[in-house]
Chain A
Amino acid sequence: MPRIGVFVCQCGNNIASTVDTKKVAGEMSKLPGVVFTCDYKFMCSSPGQEMLKQAIKENKLDGVIVSACSPHMHEKTFRKASEAAGLNPYQCEITNIREQCSWVHHDKTRATGTVKSIDLTRMTIERLKRNKPLKKIKIPVRKKALVIGGGIAGIQAALDIAEGGRDVILVEKEPSIGGNMARLSETFPTMDCSQCILTPKMVEAELNERITLYTYSEVEKVDGYIGNFTVQIRRKSKYVDEDRCTGCGECIEKCPFKVESQFELNLTKRKVIYTPFPQSVPNVPVIDAPNCPKIQKDKCGACAIACGPKCIDFKMQDKIVTEEVGAIVVATGYQLMPNERFGEYGYGRIKDVISGMQFERLASSSGPTGGEIRRPSDGKVPQSVVFIQCVGSRDEKKGVSYCSKVCCMYTAKHTMLYSHKVHGGQAYVFYMDIRSGGKRYEEFVRKAIEHDNAMYLRGRVSRVYEKDGRVVVQGADTLSGSQVEIEADMVVLATAIVSREGADTLAQRLGIGYDKDKFYNEYHPKLRPVETVTAGIFLAGTCMGPMDIPESVAQGSAAASKVLALFSADEMAREPITSVVNRATCNACWDCLTACPYSAIERESVKDRQGNIVRWLAKVNEGVCQGCGVCVAACRSKSIDLRGYTDEQVYAAINAF
């Protein structure tokens, strides 16, 4: 016979005013197995908890019910108290008679509240009788982190984790880290030069001995769970031996072929063997294999001849490396929506219609024009430039529904850069709303207007066309209610920020969620903004949605601090609410395996003494199982059950109804 104690809380008057707690306790004492009951003013108070502990010891209770507030409030409190009194904490259950009774049934006669409290407590008692003592699951933690994506967010995360004394692997798919920020000229709101603040960080990441850089690499496969991930990384062939290359650049010098530079957004060309930009980290060139005639048809080879240390190997193959890590930070960033989608703006057809990112390159002192604003068609300095905001953003029909958040700010920045670089030039900006929420952001935009003379027009542009070597912009100024036409020399489109191509594939590999726009989902947008629902995987930066550099960096640091917190203990304890398979009855139909949203179920083979496989069984990986119970309902032979929510427990509660 179980020995159960029932403690009914009055919560001051919160419960007692509509529930007769004495009566509840009294009724409960009549049930078989209940050996102790009482009611008390504040169960969660120190005296209340003391009383609970005392009662457990004195009455040798093997189960405890506290009928009080929501378990979301004080379940932890009472389980801790029970544990202190020597009881298994999972033998303590809460009945919610406050949020579910006294606060929602205002009957002053206390009749309804009391009846319902009695029912609920009885159901919990029956359930408790079938509880089994459970132990928190302990998982060892591998104290090494993986950061995917070497933009500013990823670099920051890697640096902070290394700073905290843990090893980090930073995987970047391009030949250099730096991400989109490496392309920017000067950056709002402080207008410091992007390279000047980014390059030191990139170099630091390269030199820090706790950080292993895998550039030109991608994550292929992720297995395991928090504390114990196994990751396979494809290191794409650079055709250059990284360890021996001195970064002298002779090979690049001698390469006779040029192609469009993606880094410069096709504004200029680069060699077939190249580093994306001069400050690349690591400063090791890679051969663009599809464009190299040597690799394609064995013609050329000039670079290999030029290379002093002989580190070029045209036969080099991709390598797969396997790493074991305890936590993963995803910081894969964003890309821009293809402007060609907006035929009315002429991008791709009219040379002098460019994207905001291309403008960054024009304004950058390391860019193709050395920082002079010259239009692509004929290299002239444009005397009037029209900036069009919200291109593709806030456009449900042809673009994305959300606001890209940074383009109002960088457009204001562009007008400033332009007015500083081209004296007498006039900037026009077509906008719908100006979104400049942030410290000193509004002031920044006002400065562009009031000090640098940008002409802001509230309205969208309908179309852009070429006429006599100029670009005509036709739009509206809704404030004056007029149609507007501007003959300009150049047009800059503030293109929507969208998720990376392949973001969904990576998410599926990692088992993390993403939204309709393929941005990754945070656990909770306000309270757990850098965690995912998959324990041990964290997020940072624009892979979650548009944001600027300050925010991306803050998130990189936040993710790093989460990783360091995880690594601060050698083992992690987890709630023991996981599934278990009944090995006797499982008939290996794998219904559970396909149902489990976390891939927590594995196939286990049972072997006879000779080592022949005699049968298969489902096996739950407790580290991965999150305790949702989907598998339990899926299993037709009732061979899998969920600890803490077993069929037996649930039926007991139903039967006590």
Chain B
Amino acid sequence: MAFVCNWCTYAGADLAGTSRMEYRPNVRIIKLPCTGRIDPLFIIKAFENGADGVLVSGCHPGDCHYTTGNYHARRRWIGFKNLMEFVGIDMRRLHFSWVSASEAIKWVDLINNVTDEIKRLGPFMEYKGLKENRAEQRKG
């Protein structure tokens, strides 16, 4: 699952489309106004819902449509990475990148590389169960 910002990465992915580039089909994009909007819980939720990997991508530092939103995002990740490790998420499943509106090639490479790496790691089981477990618990 990929969380991308509307202005840079989403447009970059569009450009990959208009340029008819091909990349691995495993990604599902969720568009947000800015990477600064991304709540760490989104990512945990994504894993719970069966994502094997999560990608977060926005404008390059300094290029943010909202001036400094991506700086906020970046600052947040520092603390956030620790949290992820703490809750047992393999950091190789979580990728952060900057893709600008003109970097279709970077987007394609990114998706391919991330997909391949996650394929190598295999499906992410630890979290997938969580949701069902919880549902069962509730029932039981």
A and B associate: yes
A561 within 8 A of B: no
Give the interface SS of chain A, mostly helix, strand, loop or mixed.
helix
Contact with A630, one of B21, B29, B69, B108 (Cβ below 8 angstroms): B69
* Residue from B11, B17, B36 within 8 A of A98 (CB atoms): B17
Tell me which residues across on chain A come within 8 A of B66, comparing CB atoms: 533, 597-598, 626, 628, 630
Min CB–CB distance B52 → chain A (angstroms): 11
A104 touches B16 (CB 8 A): yes
The one of B23, B51, B73, B76 that contacts A657, using a Cβ cutoff of 8 Å: B51
Q: Is B32 an interface residue (CB 8 A)?
A: yes
B42 within 8 A of A: yes
In the complex, how many angstroms separate the beta carbon of B33 from the nearest chain A beta carbon? Answer: 5
Inter-chain contact A70/B28, CB cutoff 8 Å: no
User: Is B28's CB under 8 angstroms from A123's CB?
Assistant: yes
Report which of A104, A533, A657 forms a contact with B17, defined as CB distance below 8 A: A104
Q: Flag whether A633 is at the interface (Cβ < 8 A).
A: yes
Question: Is B55 located at the chain interface by the 8 A CB criterion?
Answer: no
**Shortest distance between the CB of B54 and any CB in chain A (Å):** 10
Q: Which of B119-136 contact A (CB under 8 A)?
A: none
- Write out the residue numbers on chain B whose beta carbons fall within 8 Å of the beta carbon of A630: 34, 36-37, 66, 69, 72-73
Q: Is B14 an interface residue (CB 8 A)?
A: yes
Q: Which residues from B are CB-within-8-Å of A105?
A: 22-23, 25
Interface residue tally for chain B (C-beta within 8 Å): 40
Contact between chains at B67 and A632 (CB < 8 Å): no
Q: Which residues of B contact A597 (CB under 8 A)?
A: 36, 66-69, 72
Total contacting residues, chain A, CB less than 8 A: 43
A72 to B18, CA, bound (A): 12
Asked whether any CB of chain B lies closer than 8 Å to the CB of A382, the reply is: no
What residues of A have a CB within 8 angstroms of the CB of B65 in the complex? 533, 628
B60-93 near A? 1/0 per residue, CB < 8 Å: 0000011111001100100000000000000000
In the bound complex, residues from chain A placing their C-beta under 8 Å from that of B18 are 99, 103
The reply to whether B22 and A645 contact each other, CB–CB distance below 8 Å, is no
> Is the CB–CB distance between A654 and B42 below 8 Å?
yes
Q: Given the complex, which residues of A lie within 8 Å of B25, measured CB to CB?
A: 101, 104-105, 107, 112-113, 115-116
Cβ–Cβ < 8 Å partners of B68 in chain A: 597
Interface 1/0s, chain B 1-40, versus A by CB < 8 A? 1000000001101101110111101001111111011111
Q: How far is the CA of A106 from the CA of B25 in the complex (A)?
A: 10
Instruction: Given the known inter-chain contacts A597-B69, A653-B30, please indicate yes or no for A100 contacting B37, CB distance below 8 A.
Output: no
CA distance A101 to B21 in the complex (A): 11
Q: Does B45 contact A (CB under 8 A)?
A: yes
Contacts of A103 in B (CB 8 A): 16-18, 20
Complex: chain B residue closest to A626, CB-CB: B66
Question: Taking A116-B28, A650-B42, A654-B46 as contacts, is the C-beta distance between A628 and B22 under 8 angstroms?
Answer: no
Since A72-B11, A657-B28 are in contact, a sample of 9 more A-B pairs with Cβ atoms closer than 8 Å, ordered by chain A residue number, is A72-B14, A96-B14, A104-B17, A104-B108, A119-B28, A628-B34, A629-B69, A657-B1, A657-B51
Name 22 A/B residue pairs within 8 A (Cβ), A-sorted: A71-B31, A72-B14, A100-B17, A104-B21, A104-B23, A104-B25, A116-B25, A116-B28, A119-B28, A533-B65, A595-B72, A597-B68, A628-B37, A628-B66, A628-B69, A629-B33, A630-B37, A633-B73, A642-B33, A650-B30, A654-B46, A655-B45
